Homo-oligomer: A and B are copies of this chain.
């Protein structure tokens, strides 16, 4: 028996799924997985071989309940856990821990990673950002998280929200840039795959020496001839042109400011 006892997971989305698999990989059988939707419940049971429940009885018997549902549904789930004696956490990057404060013991267990049901990811390097409303539960949650990751960090609501906002830029918006690249290359019968070494090197370099120092390109060197040509080439793509212009201006202004300092 583990020191953190019986674990209940609530939800059937990508994060809930990944957590279930993760527990099982570590030899920890989830005590139960709560899934309201019957069809999804069946699928989770078949895919993961866990005990799937659709009422809260068994959840209330657990020692740690991990709510991994859409942000908007967390409050509703919390109403069922007012009498809960265990520690209840959610896995949201944006929602306050206080959303669960009608339970005695509450917190957050936020894995900073993009997840999907079909991809295996290595968890050891993934930051697990934890919070709990008592030092004992912080310690308990930290011990639990360290079973899966080498990067467990205590994080209050404000820091976690800042991290989530930063993640939108470094992950979602970076993805958009790859998407635009993909589109422009396809229009010319070329494949995004050509870009892989360039992207990998730029990312590596940015993490090693800082994004600012790693930046190259026409905007960075104030090459207005090339910028003008690019803007002309984007004539048929007004949305992508607008993005080109705002980001080019951002780079030019930022580096001019830095050079004046």
- A interface, CB within 8 angstroms of B: 71-72, 94, 112-114, 116, 119, 121, 125-127, 151, 153, 158-159, 161-163, 165-182, 184-185, 187-190, 192-203, 205-207, 210-212, 214-220, 223, 225-226, 229-230, 233-234, 239-240, 242-244, 246-247, 250-251, 253
Instruction: Give A239 to B250 CA distance when docked, in angstroms.
Output: 7
A171 interface neighbour in B116, B202, B250, Cβ under 8 Å: B202
Q: How far is the CB of A212 from chain B (nearest CB, A)?
A: 6
- Chain B residues contacting A201 (CB-CB under 8 Å) are 113-114, 121
A113-B201, A203-B200 are contacts. A247–B243 as well, Cβ < 8 Å? Answer: yes
- Name which residue of chain B comes closest to A119, CB basis: B205
Main DSSP-derived SS at the A contact region? helix
Minimal Cβ-Cβ distance residue in B for A189: B159
B113 near A198 with CB under 8 A, answer yes
With a cutoff of 8 Å between Cβ atoms, the chain B residues found around residue A212 in the complex are 179, 182
User: Which of B158, B168, B175 is within 8 Å of A244, CB to CB?
Assistant: B168
**Known: A114-B205, A168-B218, A219-B172. Contact between A239 and B211, CB under 8 A?**
no
Chain B nearest Cβ from A51, distance in angstroms: 29
Q: Are A203 and B210 in contact (CB under 8 A)?
A: no
* Residue among A121, A170, A223 with most chain B CB within 10 A: A170
With most chain B CB atoms within 10 A of its CB, the pick from A113, A176, A242 is A176
Verify A165–B225 contact, CB threshold 8 A.
no
- Closest B-chain residue to A214, C-beta based? B175
Q: Which of B116, B176, B202 contacts A250 (CB 8 A)?
A: B176
Quick check: A125 and B197 within 8 Å, CB to CB?
Answer: yes
Closest beta carbon of chain B to A90's beta carbon, Å: 14
Given contacts A170-B195, A173-B243, A193-B207, 5 further A-B contacts (CB under 8 A): A159-B190, A169-B181, A171-B198, A174-B177, A182-B210
- Please state if B253 and A188 are interface contacts (CB–CB under 8 Å): no
Q: Which of B71, B187, B196, B239 contacts A253 (CB 8 A)?
A: B239
The answer to whether B162 and A198 touch across the interface, beta carbons within 8 angstroms, is no
Q: Is the CB–CB distance between B163 and A185 below 8 Å?
A: yes
Most chain B Cβ neighbours within 10 Å, of A166, A179, A188, A210:
A166
Q: How far is the CB of A240 from chain B (nearest CB, A)?
A: 8
